[in-house]
Amino acid sequence: MRLVTGIVAAFAACVAVACGAAAPVPQGQVTETQAAIRAAEEVGAPGVPKAALHLKMAKDQLQTAQALMAQEDNEQAKMTLDRARVDAELALALARETAFRQKAQEALDKIKKLREEAGNSKPAAQ
């Protein structure tokens, strides 16, 4: 009797482990990825060619991950969501870099203009 009980317990444990081994639905990662995509869009990634490319890749990968989750392939979905989030974050960084470079160039242009104006307004040397 103990042998039968032991076998049943071992079988139940194996079934529990097999059922529990399935990766949970990565809904938190979906939310993080969607937030990263929105952030990239808000800072102007669609208007920066390199950033727009990575933003599109992130969106495509998000769709792929959602399809994988529908097929209950959550482990693959997690990896795809990681790639999507990283692409969205790269798009965000590229868009910010472009904006900072434009502001820096505008500041340099303003300094140059002020120096030229200051140079022209000096009194003539006697």
User: What are the pLDDT digits (tens) for 66-77?
Assistant: 999 999 999 999
Regarding pTM above 0.95, the answer is no
What kind of architecture, by CATH, is found in domain 24-103? Up-down Bundle (1.20)
68 with 80: CB under 8 angstroms?
A: yes
102 with 56: CB under 8 angstroms?
A: no
Which sequence spans correspond to the domains of the chain?
24-103
CA distance 80 to 61: 6
- List, for residues 91-114, the tens digit of each pLDDT value: 999 999 999 999 999 999 999 999
